[in-house]
């Protein structure tokens, strides 16, 4: 293709560059040359299409974001850092980076790393290739931002680089596709980060403080099990209103998601027609004598078995739960950590229980 201007007055600028089968039902389009990319322009461009041989190579788009350290939007990027992002889980492939798509396509002028961006943001191109010469290309966006508090969650953007590699885009604690520096709920526990560092669980200080309810070394705003009871904080929402903030089963003025004495787990019970989601609640935990098991809707009787950390069974009995609640007397057990196995005949769940 010698010259292809935008031509917006013809077909609204829509154009395709590719190949089509003889029936007109299947087509392969060159990257960036579909109607969805229109209007696009090019000059002196050619493409070579070859038959599929049963092997594919993928190249994945990614974004690499650094904090501006005072250089006017220009920073040094370690391109080796994002190779895992562009190759995914493929093996026996190599990745190179290029300033233009044509260079990536023709394997010309690979960029040396470290690399300083020439504009902000800047798009460069990755080329992923296997030993047989099969390759794919993708776009890499290099971005330099003013690191204040970009998601207004009370945590400075620079501090949201949890893995410490400088790239803000590969820190996504809850794997929801939103990097922490743009995510108002970093751990997806349905409690906003701003509240977890200044409000509930932090004494309502109004300012950022380090708070780690369960002492596991993970701050609450990054911990999806804040009280370390084995139940996800988001699931400790007994009233099912979308937030665990107002759930306090044992009425001790501590929300269940911050109270290790209350364990709320979700059991999936298979019914004849559909799947029922039932909340199983265990409290208090730690327990001195009677452990209450409530929220049982799948059976009139359950089997409970208690094991030590060494795997020794120390208790086994059937409990009547016709009203959805059962009590387990643990008074005779020694103090310590146990694992409680609960079965309704169809489903089994194991939870950690502390006897004190």
CB atoms within 10 A of CB 71: 12
Indicate whether this model's pTM tops 0.75. Answer: no
Per-residue pLDDT of the chain (356 residues; tens, 9 = 90+): 778 887 777 777 788 888 888 887 778 888 888 887 878 788 888 887 766 566 789 999 999 999 999 889 999 999 999 999 999 999 899 999 999 999 999 999 999 999 999 999 999 999 999 998 999 999 999 999 999 899 998 889 999 999 999 999 999 999 899 999 999 999 999 989 988 888 665 555 567 778 888 889 898 899 999 888 887 888 888 777 888 888 887 788 888 888 887 766 554 444 433 333 356 788 998 999 999 988 877 667 888 998 886 678 899 999 888 788 889 999 989 988 888 888 877 777 888 888 88
3-state DSSP assignment of residue 101: helix
Q: ∠ at Cα 56 (51, 60), nearest 5°?
A: 125
What the chain holds in terms of domains, given with CATH numbers, is 3-43 (no CATH), 62-145 (2.60.40), 263-355 (2.60.40.3080)
Give the C-alpha separation, 307 to 315, whole Å.
7
Partners of 68 in the β-ladder = none
Alpha-carbon gap, residue 196 to 201, rounded angstroms: 7
């Amino acid at each position: 293709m010698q010259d292809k201007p935008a031509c917006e007055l013809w077909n609204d600028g829509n154009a395709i560059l590719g190949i089509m089968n003889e029936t007109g039902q299947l087509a392969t389009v060159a990257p960036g040359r579909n109607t969805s990319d229109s209007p696009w322009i090019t000059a002196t461009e050619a493409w070579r299409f070859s038959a599929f041989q049963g092997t594919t190579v993928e190249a994945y788009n990614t974004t690499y974001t650094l904090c501006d350290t005072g250089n006017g939007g220009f920073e040094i990027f370690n391109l080796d850092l994002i190779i895992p992002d562009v190759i995914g889980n493929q093996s026996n492939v190599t990745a190179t980076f290029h300033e233009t798509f044509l260079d990536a396509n023709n394997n010309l002028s690979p960029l040396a790393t470290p690399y300083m961006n020439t504009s902000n943001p800047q798009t460069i191109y990755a080329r992923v290739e296997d030993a047989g010469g099969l390759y794919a290309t993708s776009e890499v966006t290099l971005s330099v931002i003013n690191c204040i508090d970009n998601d207004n969650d009370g945590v400075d953007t620079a501090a949201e680089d949890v893995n410490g590699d400088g790239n803000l885009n590969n820190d996504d604690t809850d794997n929801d596709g939103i990097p922490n520096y743009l995510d108002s709920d970093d751990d997806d526990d349905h409690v906003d980060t701003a509240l977890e560092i200044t409000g509930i669980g932090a004494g309502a200080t109004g300012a950022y403080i380090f708070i780690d309810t369960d002492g596991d070394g993970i701050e609450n705003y990054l911990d999806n099990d804040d009280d370390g009871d084995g139940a996800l904080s988001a699931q400790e929402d007994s009233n099912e209103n979308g937030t665990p903030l107002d759930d306090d089963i044992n009425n001790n003025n501590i929300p269940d998601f911050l109270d290790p004495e209350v364990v709320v787990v979700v059991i999936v019970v298979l019914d004849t027609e559909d799947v029922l989601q039932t909340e199983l609640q265990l409290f208090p935990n730690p327990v001195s004598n009677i452990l209450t098991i409530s929220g049982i809707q799948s059976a009139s009787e359950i089997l409970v078995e208690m094991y030590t950390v060494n795997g020794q069974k120390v208790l086994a009995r059937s409990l009547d739960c016709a009203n959805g609640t059962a009590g387990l007397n643990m008074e005779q057990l020694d103090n310590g950590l146990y694992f409680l196995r609960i079965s309704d005949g169809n489903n089994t769940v194991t939870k950690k229980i502390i006897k004190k």
